[in-house]
């Protein structure tokens, strides 16, 4: 006879696998705590309340709100497989919801992690799933220009990174960076580490210690600046909130809600089977302390990997020597560069690019206007932005004047302010 100990989490969203009470119950437990009445080796530590040694074995007392029994190991494995499928389904739902929430082009890694925590909770997933979703999203940036980076490889890499993050101390960071380098994803290191730091999967004091003992890539400087600004010494009283890590979802001792424990994860996670309450999470982004929000959630490396010659797939033979510079010029006192190049794009590539713009409208080339199925007359080329080059730093001053005076800042206002002679 096998037993599975369970605990119940709150849920906000219809779930696809509710047809099976057993699957649903096991999923709700997060990690299925499988054991027999004879052996307890499979039992997850997080469920153990206490262990009492006896003459012939240890008796583990576990916390359980529900027990499901299965007849044999085969039935158990089948059940667990259904649980895994169920989790995948929920992650897919969460991923779609996250994608819908992060439509703004200025969405940051911090926003991503917040959304992942929220949606993972809404889909009745565990905090580690939120981290996994955020990691997959961060890593998917590598696929923007690298067709080899399939969804499967991204998921595998995310899993490996998450496994690395379970290591104690600084070893986790070293291993993650080495893994990224092996996968030629070092350009995403800042985003990946930011995901782990913001989600609480990496403890900030470990990041600080790692930085002390290593010479980190300068690209990671923004994260470490944020970490150092927010890392606090571990609580001496056995506080289990990740040693003061201000991860998303936590409520700190000073009452500042930063969303935390939600995102503690893995084998070392504390046992909070019921997870954050709906109230906790719903107040997440709104209660997100601006002081803790990283000032640098964005970095250009997010889209760089696909631009590196090593990762971009070059399908055609091309060398820089094929380029013929027709004109190399610098204009004005600002020495603005203008270079006219032939040979960077050949005719076949040109035709493909044009095909992308025109689609199947092969007759478009004979038309006096572009195909309306793909083009619209809404572009203003020359208005946005204004002639900033003339205005220079006055823009900032204009912003400040507007802010100080409480005026709505419009382009017209800015332009007028910019023209104030200094």
Partner 1 sequence: MIAMPSFEFLTDSLRPPGIAGEGLPRTWGLKPSLLEALEQRPPACVVEVQARLAKLFPEFDIGHLPDVAAGAPRAAGSASYHATSFVANAPVWGDAFQWHVDADPASFPGGSHWLSTYGLYENGTRGKPLLVSLLVYLDQEWWPEWDAETLFCDADTGVGLLVQPQPARCVLMHQDVLHRISTPSLSAHRPRYSLVWKLVFVPRTTSAPGEVGNLGADLGAASLAMERLGDVLRVAQHDVPLASKPAGGLDAVDRETICRPEWGEPVRIGRPARTRSVK
Tell which positions 299-338 bind partner 1, by CB under 8 A. 299-304, 306-309, 312-316, 318-320, 323, 325-338
Pull the structure tokens for residue 20.
């099976």
Binding mask 180-209 for partner 1 (x = CB under 8 A): -------x----------------------
Residues in binding contact with partner 1, number by CB under 8 A:
114
Options 18-26, 72-80, 178-186, 396-404: segment touching partner 1 (CB under 8 A): 396-404
Contact 245, 200 (CB under 8 A): yes
Q: Does 290 bind partner 1 (CB under 8 A)?
A: no
CA–CA separation, 230 and 245 (whole Å): 8
| Token representation of residue 233 | 């010494």
- Which range touches partner 1 (CB under 8 A), out of 78-86, 112-120, 204-212, 360-368? 360-368
Does 399 interact with partner 1 (rule: CB under 8 A)? yes
Number of C-beta neighbours around residue 300 at 10 A: 9
Contact range with partner 1 by CB under 8 A, out of 13-21, 25-33, 64-72, 105-113: 105-113
By CB under 8 A, residue 367 contacts partner 1: yes
Q: Does the CA dihedral 261-263-269-272 come out positive or negative?
A: positive
Is residue 176 a contact point for partner 1 (CB under 8 A)?
A: no
61-65, long-range: CB < 8 A, 24+ apart = 62/5, 62/33, 62/35, 63/5, 63/7, 63/271, 63/273, 64/5, 64/6, 64/7, 64/33, 65/6, 65/7, 65/8
CA distance 308 to 184: 10
Which of 69, 346, 360, 362 touches partner 1 by CB under 8 A?
A: 346
Angle at 176 between CA 41 and CA 270, to 5 degrees: 40
Q: Which is nearer to partner 1, 84 or 339 (CB)?
A: 339
Residues between 217 and 246 that touch partner 1 (CB under 8 A): 218, 222
What part of residues 138-157 is at the interface with partner 1 (CB under 8 A)?
144-145, 147
With contacts defined by CB under 8 A, name the span among 55-63, 119-127, 256-264, 362-370 that binds partner 1.
362-370
> Quick one: 147 or 169, whose CB is closer to partner 1?
147
3-state DSSP assignment of residue 86: helix
Residue 145, number of CB atoms within 10 A of its CB: 16
Q: How far is the CB of 377 from partner 1 (least distance, A)?
A: 5
Of the pair 235, 386, the CB lying nearest partner 1 is at: 386
Contacts of 267 (CB under 8 A, 6+ apart): 44, 45, 46, 166
CB closer to partner 1 out of 74 and 337: 337
Contact segment (CB under 8 A) with partner 1 among 37-45, 199-207, 281-289, 357-365 equals: 357-365
The angle, 0 to 180 degrees and rounded to 10, between the axes of the packed helices 73-101 and 21-28 is 70
Residue 219: half-sphere exposure toward Cβ, Cα within 13 Å: 16
Q: Least CB distance from residue 311 to partner 1, whole Å?
A: 9
């Amino acid at each position: 006879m096998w037993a599975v100990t369970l605990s119940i989490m709150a849920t906000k969203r219809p779930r696809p696998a509710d047809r099976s009470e057993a699957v649903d119950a096991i999923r709700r437990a997060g990690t299925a705590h499988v054991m027999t009445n004879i052996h307890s080796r499979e039992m997850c530590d997080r469920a153990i309340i206490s262990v009492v040694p006896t003459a012939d074995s240890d008796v583990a007392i576990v916390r359980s709100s529900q027990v499901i029994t299965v007849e044999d190991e085969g039935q158990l494995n089948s059940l667990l497989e259904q649980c895994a499928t169920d989790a995948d389904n929920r992650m897919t739902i969460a991923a779609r919801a996250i994608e819908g929430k992060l439509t703004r082009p200025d969405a940051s890694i911090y926003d991503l992690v917040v959304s992942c925590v929220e949606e993972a909770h809404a889909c009745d997933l565990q905090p580690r799933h939120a981290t996994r979703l955020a990691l997959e999203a961060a890593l998917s940036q590598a696929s923007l220009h690298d067709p080899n980076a399939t969804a499967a490889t991204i998921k595998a890499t995310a899993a490996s990174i998450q496994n690395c993050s379970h290591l104690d101390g600084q070893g986790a960071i070293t291993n993650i960076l080495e893994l990224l380098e092996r996968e030629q994803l070092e350009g995403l290191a800042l985003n990946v580490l930011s995901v782990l730091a913001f989600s609480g999967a990496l403890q900030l004091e470990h990041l600080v210690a790692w930085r002390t003992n290593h010479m980190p890539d300068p690209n990671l400087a923004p994260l470490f600046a944020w970490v150092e600004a927010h890392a606090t010494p571990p609580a001496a009283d056995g506080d289990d909130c990740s040693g003061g890590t201000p991860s998303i979802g936590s409520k700190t001792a000073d009452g500042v809600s930063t969303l935390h424990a939600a995102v503690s994860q893995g084998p070392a996670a504390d046992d909070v089977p019921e997870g954050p309450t709906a109230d906790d999470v719903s107040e997440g982004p709104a209660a997100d302390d601006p002081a803790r929000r990283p000032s640098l959630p964005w970095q250009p490396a997010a889209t760089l990997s696909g631009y590196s010659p090593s990762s971009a797939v070059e399908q055609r033979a091309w060398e820089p020597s094929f380029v013929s510079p027709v004109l190399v010029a610098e204009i004005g006192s600002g020495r603005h560069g203008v270079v006219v190049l032939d040979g960077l794009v050949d005719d076949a590539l040109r035709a493909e690019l044009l095909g992308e713009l025109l689609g199947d409208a092969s007759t478009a080339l004979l038309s006096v206007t572009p195909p309306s199925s793909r083009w619209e007359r809404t572009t203003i080329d020359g208005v946005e932005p204004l002639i900033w080059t003339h205005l220079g730093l006055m823009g900032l001053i204009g912003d400040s004047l507007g802010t100080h005076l409480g005026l709505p800042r419009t382009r017209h206002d800015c332009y007028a302010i910019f023209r104030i002679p200094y």
